[in-house]
Chains A and B, each alone.
Chain A
Amino acid sequence: MSKEEFLNELKSALSGLPQDDADERLLFYSEMIDDRMEEGANESEAVSGIGTVDEIVRQTLEDIPITKIVKEKITPKRRLRAWEVVLIVLGFPVWFPLIVAAGAVVLSLYIVFWSLIVSLWAIEVSLWVCLLGMAAAAAVYLFQGYALQGIAMLGAALFCGGLSIFMFFVCTAASKGMIKLTKKAAIGIKSRLIGKENAK
């Protein structure tokens, strides 16, 4: 095979690559053939010394990241036609709000979950306030001699105290659960992105 035939064959085999990448590789192999010939090999010896086109293509595919190949594949080879650009621009009022709305829904769901937890903590705090307030009221009643009201207040304060201890466990469990869920969701999204890249 002549040098030119070899390079032409290689060129068509590498046509899926970005242009500059393919050109650089062709130059490299061309230089290799020239150097072999300079050392005294004849043209066909020099070409066969490089290895086969298939070998080179296989090696090339191994070391080019899949993203580059995919990008080259999905990048339009031609410029977008005028009517396609017009369609994208005219469609903007439709597709842009849709994307924003989808993002907003996800975000608001997340906020709703967290505000549920915040309200749980608010109950916990209010129970504590009740406890303190009622305890103070009980003390005042007892000092003023209203024994019955004082004891009732004290009972209510203890009830709030008990409830607040119970609420505390509910609150911490809910918060921990939410944090775990958030982490899981983040990991899920990441592995999906990475998985896509590795899978191909």
Chain B
Amino acid sequence: MDIQLKRGLLDVCVLAAIKNEDSYGYKIIKDMKPYIELSESTLYTILKRLESAGMMTVRTAEHDGRLRKYYRITETGRKRIEEFKLEWKEVISVYQFVIKEDNHE
């Protein structure tokens, strides 16, 4: 898949993974696994990007005697998900057009 496209998709996927409840790194990867494969190092990059864009916040909490980082979605992050849904409608209509051109040949 095109890198730019995949990057945009993964951003929204991670947002969706923390949409309903705060989550942590490993859980995000596990939750996404059935849908899209994501490596730890890629996740780190995405989390950083989302945080600096103000789409989520991070807090450190104790878990089982060690520290774990939890990620929480912000209003901006929720807006991004809604935007994505609208954008995707456009993508689908472009896709339909592309397919139509194929049939003419």
Contact = CB atoms under 8 A, between A and B. Distances in A.
Interface in A34-72: 34-36, 38-39, 50-51, 55-56, 59-60, 62-63
Contacts, number: 45
Interface string B62-101: 0010111100000000000000000000000000000000
Interface residues of B, number: 16
A51 B45 CA distance: 15
B70 to A, nearest CB: 11
Given A55-B41, A60-B41, A63-B45, A31 B25 contact: yes
28 contacts: A27-B67, A28-B25, A28-B40, A28-B69, A31-B24, A31-B26, A31-B68, A31-B69, A32-B26, A32-B40, A35-B24, A35-B25, A35-B27, A36-B26, A38-B64, A39-B26, A51-B39, A51-B41, A55-B41, A56-B40, A56-B41, A59-B39, A59-B41, A59-B42, A59-B44, A62-B45, A63-B45, A63-B48
Interface of A: 25, 27-29, 31-32, 34-36, 38-39, 50-51, 55-56, 59-60, 62-63
Interface of B: 24-27, 39-42, 44-45, 48, 64, 66-69
